[in-house]
Amino acid sequence: MSPDDELTDAEETHLRSLTAVEAEGDERAVEAALRPRSLDEVVGQVRVRDQLGLVLEAARQRGKAPDHVLLSGPPGLGKTTLAMIIAHEMSTPLRLTSGPAITHAGDLAAILSGLNEGEVLFVDEIHRMSRPAEEMLYLAMEDFRVDVVIGKGPGATAIPLEIPPFTLVGATTRAGLLPGPLRDRFGFTAHLEFYEPADLDRIIRRSAGLLEVDLTDDGSAEIASRSRGTPRIANRLLRRVRDYAQVRADGVVTRGVSQAALDLYEVDQLGLDRLDRAVLDVLCNRFGGGPVGVSTLAVAVGEERETVEEVAEPFLVRNGFLARTPRGRVATPAAWAHLGLTAPPPEPESPTLFED
């Protein structure tokens, strides 16, 4: 262990609470405990970290609440983590809600009017908010005011209600689904990208330190390369490999142990999981490589359309296994190769009319 990797007192305490949490077997709590708590602890996402750091520092200097922040990207890349960090860095409480939880504009009015000056309101899955709530949010974001409507029909009146300046942090896996007016009201938008193996490697080693997992360098690298570019998956795989090391080996997570464990959990060498492979399998074997619509694909693999679109697809596209075309999804040569299949020959060009 290099001095950098040694635990500080705070981490020691943190670790003790972690071990207690682990004993209860609560995986969600473990995930929360592994979250970086300050911008400095965030691994990777260098550009987002720099930009966000600047936005927060400037706001701190002015003594004002920072501009509203939109965080977008596939699941498990750190949106909730960053929202919590924003509140932490501004030394202010975080109020947490989510799009689907706000069914009526009144729900949102209650939340907004309960905010104190400078607080951070985190709205997860902001693309799933109801229309009336969304419109109320426009006004709140821009003018720090909500119109509370009293009564119904022609006699209804809107009473404006001032709300203290606050920072809205919205998270979405689908920035494309946000209406333009809402997107435009965010002063800063961060799009989170999949992580490089080197970053995942650092995340895994940090988590292994906190969870007291004995891990070799190549063991960590092996897990990193199969983590689908996603910190949440990296942390989860680390725990599964640790189980394997404990039960079937001598407790040390080596490359061999990682490989054996991840094969057992059906995570392949490139990190594709069961759903990823099912999508490619159906696409190649049942639809001749496409093009096929995403709804059809979803039905064929027995999943919700959103799951295929938000969870499987971004990774498959990013890694060149799947292409989106106007006519539907298409398997790339890499997909055929990964499944060990031979791609059908390309369709013959339509004959030209005039031959000389």
Catalytically active residues, by annotation: 79-80, 124, 173, 232
- Is the dihedral angle over the CA atoms 314, 318, 322, 327 positive or is it negative? positive
Peptide bond just before 291 cis, omega within 30 deg? yes
In the complex with Mg ion, which residue's Cβ is closer, 79 or 242? 79
Task: Give the Cα separation of 243 and 346 in Å (integer).
Answer: 46
List the beta strands (DSSP E) in the chain: 69-72, 94-98, 120-124, 145-150, 157-162, 167-172, 188-191, 214-215, 252-253, 322-325, 328-331
- Is the dihedral angle over the CA atoms 148, 152, 153, 156 positive or is it negative? negative
Among Mg ion, ligand ATP, none, the one that 289 touches (CB under a kind-dependent 5 to 8 A) is none
| 232 lies in the binding site for ligand ATP (CB under 6 A) | yes
Task: Give the Cα separation of 320 and 314 in Å (integer).
Answer: 10
Q: Which two tokens stand for residue 227?
A: 């983590």
Number of H helices, E strands in the chain: 16, 11
Among Mg ion, ligand ATP, none, the one that 78 touches (CB under a kind-dependent 5 to 8 A) is ligand ATP
Among Mg ion, ligand ATP, none, the one that 219 touches (CB under a kind-dependent 5 to 8 A) is none
Among Mg ion, ligand ATP, none, the one that 43 touches (CB under a kind-dependent 5 to 8 A) is ligand ATP
- The answer to whether 318 is a known ligand-binding residue is no
In the complex with ligand ATP, which residue's Cβ is closer, 43 or 213? 43
- The answer to whether 305 is a known ligand-binding residue is yes
**Are 312 and 276 contacting, i.e. CB atoms less than 8 angstroms apart?**
yes
* Of residues 32-61, those binding ligand ATP (CB under 6 A): 34-36, 42-45
- The answer to whether 226 is a known ligand-binding residue is no
CB of 194 to Mg ion, least distance (A): 16
Dihedral, CA of residue 13, residue 19, residue 23 and residue 25, to nearest 10: 100
In the complex with Mg ion, which residue's Cβ is closer, 203 or 301? 203
Selected from 80, 172, 173, 227, the binder of Mg ion by CB under 5 A is 80
Cite the annotated binding site for Mg(2+) by residue number.
80
Cite the annotated binding site by residue number.
34-35, 76, 79-81, 142-144, 185, 195, 232, 305, 324, 329
Residues in contact with ligand ATP by CB under 6 A are: 31, 34-36, 42-45, 75-81, 173, 203, 231-232, 235
